[in-house]
Each structure stands twice: as C-alpha cells, then as structure tokens.
Structure 1
Amino acid sequence: MIKRNRTKLSLVVGAVCATMLTLATPAAHAGTAEDDHTATLAALKAFQASAGPGAAIHAGGPGESWTLSAGTGTINSDRPIRSDEHFRIGSQTKTFTAVVLLQLVDEGKVSLDAPIADYLPGVVTGNGYDGTRITVRHLLQHTGGLAAYTPQVVIDKPVSNPDGTYELAELVRKGLSFAPVSAPGAGFTYSNTNYLILGMLVEKVTGQRVHETVTSRVIEPLGLGRTVFPAPGQRALPTPAVNGYHGVRVGGFYFWTPALTYDPSLFSSAGAMVSTLEDLTTFYQALVVGKVLSASGLAEMQKVREAGPGVSFGLGLGRKELSCGIVAWGHSGGVPGYMSQTMVTENGRHASVVTNALFQINAPADQLHELLDTALCEDAAQRS
C-alpha cells in the first residue's frame, strides 16, 4: 500500500543462531549522489536505523537515476546494497498480476464486473462467501469482503505437496477458511487471498501457470532481465542478491538471523516474485505512461478507492499525493527477509527502496514513506 498502510504482510517467522550487529552511525555509500541528495541521504539513514542491516534507494527524474545505500547487504561486512541486486519483492508482485488481468480484460477474455463464480465456479463458496456476488474488480481492489490472510512460513501453514510446493487452490482454501469481514463492495480489507484467487483465474483463462503468464506477458516484453517469477520449487535467489534477515532490536543493538528459506509458490501470484530496484523502476514507469496496458486498462487500474487515512488503492496499484503536491503511483512489498516499495510519477520521477529485513513489530513504515516522499520531492525541487 502507499501511505502509512498498517496492513503489511504478517508473517510468522522464527529466529535461530542470532548474530549481533551494532548499528550506531550507518555507513553510507553513494559516490557523488551523496553530496547531491543530502536530504534523501538523511532520510535513508533514518529509515535504515529502524530497518534491516542495510537499505538502499534508487531514485531520480526524467533521464537520470542515482542510488544511495546505508548499512550493509551482508552482516559483519561493509557491502552496500546495489540497485542491480536481486531481492524478493513480496506484494509488489500483485501489480504484475493485476496487469495480466487487465490485459485479459483488454482482450475481452475477462470482465472486471463479472462475478468470479463465472470463471471459477465452486471456488469462492462456503463459510459465508458467495462467488456470485464477488466480482473480479472486487478482488483486484480488495473490496470483496475477504478476510485478511497471509500464508505462514512456519506456523499453521497450508498443506503442501510432497515436494514442498503449494497449489493455488490449497492456498485459496486456507484463505477462505477465515470468515468474511464485510459484504462485497462494502469496505476495503487488504488480503492476499484476493490475489491468490486471481492467480487461479489467470491460469484458468490462459491455460498456463501464472508464473509463465506473467513472464511471457510482462517480464519478457519489457526486457526486465533481472526480474523473475519463480516456478514452484525454484527457491534460490539469482545472483547477485541482497541477503535477507530477520531481526530484533534491543537498545542500540540488532540481532540478525538469515531469513528462512521457503518455496515461492507459498505466495505465488500474491507475492512470489524477485526483482531489483532498477527493474522495478522500469516496470512501474512503463506502466504509468501507458506502455503496458491500453489507455482504458490503465484508467481502470487508476480508479482508486479510499482504503484508510491517506491511503487510496486502485486495481493492484496505490496512489499517494506527495508533500510537494505531485501524485505518485506504486506498491509496497514484504516477505521474510525484505521490505520494499516503489513509487513513480507520470513525468518520470521515481524512487524504489529496499531494506533486507521484515519486522512484525515496530516496522519502519513512517520512515519508509518519509524517505520516498523526500526523494521524489527533492528531485522535484531541484528541477523547479
């Protein structure tokens, strides 16, 4: 979500063999960008001081980009996070999934306002759910009344296949085991179940696995060479990669342990993808200027609904009005080991952030949004 969204992914994780790292004044690595973007550097340091071992922002305006890094991408070393390193993007995957659905709408294969039961009969039913009243649009915009749900890595996991992979149908069954929170269309509740159902819809309409469809329809046409929608069982991050961690802060100390390994099919169309700060920037910039969807498809995606104080959400895309008066579009993501967000404007300003830890308590959401706002508005001020 875009601004101060408190419905981040909630993941149950365990800590084993913690490593202690003192972070007093985080090292900054920026080259000449450090001198040119002092306000953003200060905001980055403030964010990283409450975030993971390291953090980085890749930002800029039309025709130029720069990267700042604070802390480290690998504990007990001085290794800045680079803009071309891979990390798990979590719920930024949802925007890719939404793009595919809107392409299918453009092609007349899916109707936004058709009930999901028209395409997946018998899937969204029982436990108070009625798929004849929940539309594709509802699912894309988190307004179908589905309960908040995040597949768990450790406790109360969905049932896996013998090889440790997961089927979308099982993930959806687990998500729908939680009772509805509202009538369809009555309110906004961010739930991964919406996008897991949409993954099933993509597979039903295209006849392909969802990771194959996103790859062929979005990743390859845009030339996103460092973006991957992993197939079930493809657990390793491509190299180079940012190391992800879990952590606990005690006073001036952090205790880090490597993020737990899990199969990407656990999050699938709701959060399985891997990318880089550079590739995410390319994707969102192409999206908002109309290179990915038709004009009507993009207009549907940008029809926002208030989702909470300062939060507006369209179809897989969030909207935020910045402190300098301009509007930015994007999405956030969080999975074990990583917290990230990308925001872009229609005139070429962009900012993509990652930190290599995900916190369940005291997540630095305010600092993240301050960092993004500072970077985008600092660039605007320099150009005015």
Structure 2
Amino acid sequence: MTRTTQRWLAGIVVGTALAVGVPAAPAWADEHADTRTTLEEYNRKAGPGAAVHAGKGTESWTLSSGSASIREDRPITSADHFRIGSQTKTFTAVVVLQLAEEGLVELDAPVEEYLPGVLTMNYDGNEITVRQLLNHTAGLPREPSGAAPEPDGTYELAALVRAAMDDPPVSEPGGSLNYSNVGYMVLGMLIEKSTGRYVGDAITERIIEPLGLTGTSFPAPGQRALPAPYVPGYQGGRLLGMFFWFDATTLVELSRWSSSGAMASTMEDMVRFYRALMDGELVSERMLADMRTTVPIAPGSQAGYGLGLYTLPLSCGGAAWGHDGLLATGHASITMVTDDGRFASVLTNANIVAREPAAADVVDAALCEGES
C-alpha cells in the first residue's frame, strides 16, 4: 500500500521518566487475525499501547495492544478520550465549507478580502486564496516561529499568524503541497471573523452538537485536562531495549495549535464524524466533491490531500478518506472511512511516528479484512 508522507508535530521531551518494557501482547481471539498481527507489530514501535476501532455499517469491533497507561494495565477502548491533533483540521475545513455554502466565503477569493492586513510582510493576502489554505498550497510555513504567549500562557490566533509573517515562503501560492499549521490558524481567524464566534464555539455549534459527538470537544484557552475516561499521552524514547516514558497529557498549551490541532475526541466519535461527512450530513455533495479534489502529497505519491482531508490507497483496492494527527501531548491517531461504509480509527499513546508498520498499515489491515 501507499503510506501517507505527512509527518506531523515534533515531540518535546520533558517531565518525570518512568521506564517500562515493551508490553506483552494480549491473548485475543482468532478473529481479525491479520489486523491483530499488524497492530501488535505497530505497538512494538509506537506507544505503551495502541488500539484500532473498526467495522462496516452498524457492526464494529475494537482491538487493543499494550496498555492505555504505564501506571496500570488496561486496554485502550473506543470510548477513551485523547487529543486528535491534526484531525482537527477536518473540522475546521468543514466549517469553512459551510460558510462557503452560506455565501459568506468564496473558496477561490483572496484571503485579503476577508482578513485585510493579516497576511503581510513576506506574504500577500491578495495572492493567497482560501482554497490554497485548505489544501496546503499557500506557501505558508509549517509553524509560527517565535510566537509569544499572553501573560496567562495562552496564545491568540492573530499573534500566532503574525509571528509567521517574517518567515520565508516555502513555495509560491498555488504551488506544491507544503503542510502548514499556520494556514489552518488563518482559517480559524476566518471562521471567527465570518461567524463572530470563537472558533471552538463555531465548531461545537455547527458540527459537534448536531452530530451528537458527546466525546468530542474544542478546549478553551488554558484548558489542558482531558475528560474521563482518557488515554494518557507519553513522550520518550528507546534505550537498551527499554522505553522511558514521560507523561505529556497536559504538558502543552493547546491554544498554541487551536484550529490546526487542539481538539479532543474518541475513536467512536471520530468514526461518526468522518462517516457523517462522507454521507453528506455536514456539507453538500458539491462541497464534498471539492473536499475530495486532491493535490499530490509528494511527487509520485498515490495519496492526495484535498480540503482538510486526504485519500489513502488501500492494498485491497480502492481508497479511504480521513486524516491523521500527532500532538506533543503524546497522542498519535488516524481515522479513515470508505464510500461503502467501512471505517477504522487507530490510536497510540505516544507522539512517535512508527513505521513498518505504520498506523496507516493498521488502518489498511482493518479496512481490507475480507475484501481481497
């Protein structure tokens, strides 16, 4: 299969270290054997624990490997809360497309039309469009370097974007894909300007509440705790066959990522969200077609990025749609759904980009069960 080439936020290792060995695999039943094997292999390279919640139609199942916590031996469940990282981007994109349907935003209009004076210095808001922000072809940097927090330790979207304006462009507007959290912070500002609402409130009122996503939330500035039950997040590394884990669950101020990556959810809710999106519950068929119009993630890659979501080719044929996320809170995740009703969400409790297998391989194994 073709793996996504996107690599999300880098980790920051601080805190009190605890050393534990690689967890032993649980004694599962024989069902879902291929997915189970891939998940176990992934968990050996990922966090203290990893899990997949998958199924088709109204049928679902969950497999867990390792442990949700280094302090107690318990499986990760599909109802556990975690930070979804860049899966937040799909929520942000959906609200922007809803605003476009309402005539408040034009996707191919320049950003300057809606946020005058926001893209300045090394960037021209008259040359960068809303669509280019959504598909990461605006040429903006990945992160806002040198952004300073407010006296209370929180961050303002405008200050984050302003801090990035003296960084050199990574491409011309409309050029190749260059993944940018800054671009989605600009989109957060656009949502706030167009709705008159805090971006978290807009996402809550337009998506979370209508879909009944009771396990999903957008944190207020300064709010770092996850609701119970939750999966603690860890940072750390490997030394002499041992992992040294640092609890990072509340380590970072989430307003630092805001509309690009701050939200919390569960695997159950993330599946519900992406299935509702693909089923036309959140945007029109025309807007969904726009979301699924992709640019290559990398030269020669079969994977493509659309407007807030990407496509993942599957080993059994066809493709799935969704997004992944990695955050310094120590959570890495991915959720993918297919047009015929299959779904898979994968979570590990460390911000480690494991490879061979990667999280996308666990997704592929789950989605391809019985399809070949």
When normalised by structure 1's length, the TM-score is: 0.92
Q: Distance in 2 between matches of 1:195 and 1:357?
A: 24
Q: 1:8 matched to which residue of 2? A: 7
The amino acid that maps onto 1:295 is E
Residue 182 of structure 1: how far off its partner (Å): 1.1
1:248 correspondence with 2:240: no
2:260 to 256, 262, 270: 270
Q: Distance in 1 between matches of 2:291 and 2:24?
A: 39
Q: Distance in 1 between matches of 2:60 and 2:108?
A: 39
Question: What is the correspondence of 1:214-363 to structure 2 with a 5 Å cutoff?
Answer: 214-259=203-248, 261-308=251-298, 309-336=301-328, 337-359=330-352, 363=354
Q: Is the 8 A contact 1:59 1:66 kept in 2?
A: yes
Residue 146 of structure 1: how far off its partner (Å): 1.1
- Give the root-mean-square deviation of aligned CA atoms: 1.7
Q: 1:28 matched to which residue of 2? A: 26
Q: Distance in 1 between matches of 2:361 and 2:56?
A: 18
Q: Distance in 2 between matches of 1:185 and 1:96?
A: 23
Provide Cα deviations, 1:341-363, integer angstroms capped at 9, x if missing partner.
Answer: 0000011100000000013xx64
Provide Cα deviations, 1:221-247, integer angstroms capped at 9, x if missing partner.
Answer: 000000001111221111110010001
Q: Is the 8 A contact 1:86 1:242 kept in 2?
A: yes
Residue 220 of structure 1: how far off its partner (Å): 0.3
Unaligned runs of 5+ in 2: none
The alpha-carbon distance between structure 1 residues 327 and 7, as it changes in their structure 2 partners (threshold 3 A), is closer
Q: Is the 8 A contact 1:338 1:355 kept in 2?
A: yes
The amino acid that maps onto 1:98 is A
1:373 correspondence with 2:364: yes
Q: How many residues align?
A: 368
Question: What is the correspondence of 1:41-60 to structure 2 with a 5 Å cutoff?
Answer: 41-60=36-55
Q: Distance in 1 between matches of 2:76 and 2:167?
A: 39
Q: Distance in 2 between matches of 1:11 and 1:334?
A: 8
Q: Is the 8 A contact 1:18 1:256 kept in 2?
A: yes
Q: Distance in 1 between matches of 2:54 and 2:138?
A: 35
Q: Distance in 2 between matches of 1:177 and 1:227?
A: 35
Provide Cα deviations, 1:116-163, integer angstroms capped at 9, x if missing partner.
Answer: 000001101112x111010000000000111222x6xxxx75211111
Stretch deviating more after TM superposition (179-188 or 3-12): 3-12
Question: What is the correspondence of 1:33-182 to structure 2 with a 5 Å cutoff?
Answer: 34-127=29-122, 129-149=123-143, 158-182=147-171
Q: Distance in 1 between matches of 2:71 and 2:219?
A: 29
Q: Is the 8 A contact 1:55 1:355 kept in 2?
A: yes
Q: Distance in 2 between matches of 1:52 and 1:261?
A: 17
The SS at the match of 1:169 is helix
Q: 2:182 matched to which residue of 1? A: 193
Residue 76 of structure 1: how far off its partner (Å): 4.1
Residue 365 of structure 1: how far off its partner (Å): 7.2
Moved runs in structure 1, 4+ residues, more than 3 A? 2-7, 362-366
Q: Is the 8 A contact 1:56 1:82 kept in 2?
A: yes
Provide Cα deviations, 1:260-305, integer angstroms capped at 9, x if missing partner.
Answer: 5222211100001000000000000010111111111111111111
The amino acid that maps onto 1:286 is A
The SS at the match of 2:289 is helix
Q: Distance in 1 between matches of 2:140 and 2:108?
A: 17
Residue 78 of structure 1: how far off its partner (Å): 1.3
Residue 251 of structure 1: how far off its partner (Å): 3.9
Q: Is the 8 A contact 2:42 2:354 kept in 1?
A: no
Q: Distance in 1 between matches of 2:332 and 2:162?
A: 27
Q: Distance in 2 between matches of 1:157 and 1:256?
A: 28
The alpha-carbon distance between structure 1 residues 351 and 15, as it changes in their structure 2 partners (threshold 3 A), is same
Q: Is the 8 A contact 1:4 1:366 kept in 2?
A: no
When normalised by structure 2's length, the TM-score is: 0.95
Q: Distance in 1 between matches of 2:119 and 2:342?
A: 40
The SS at the match of 2:369 is helix
Q: Is the 8 A contact 1:113 1:137 kept in 2?
A: yes
Q: Distance in 1 between matches of 2:263 and 2:348?
A: 16
Q: Distance in 2 between matches of 1:340 and 1:157?
A: 27
The amino acid that maps onto 1:380 is E
The amino acid that maps onto 1:227 is T
The amino acid that maps onto 1:208 is R
Unaligned runs of 5+ in 1: none
The SS at the match of 1:220 is helix
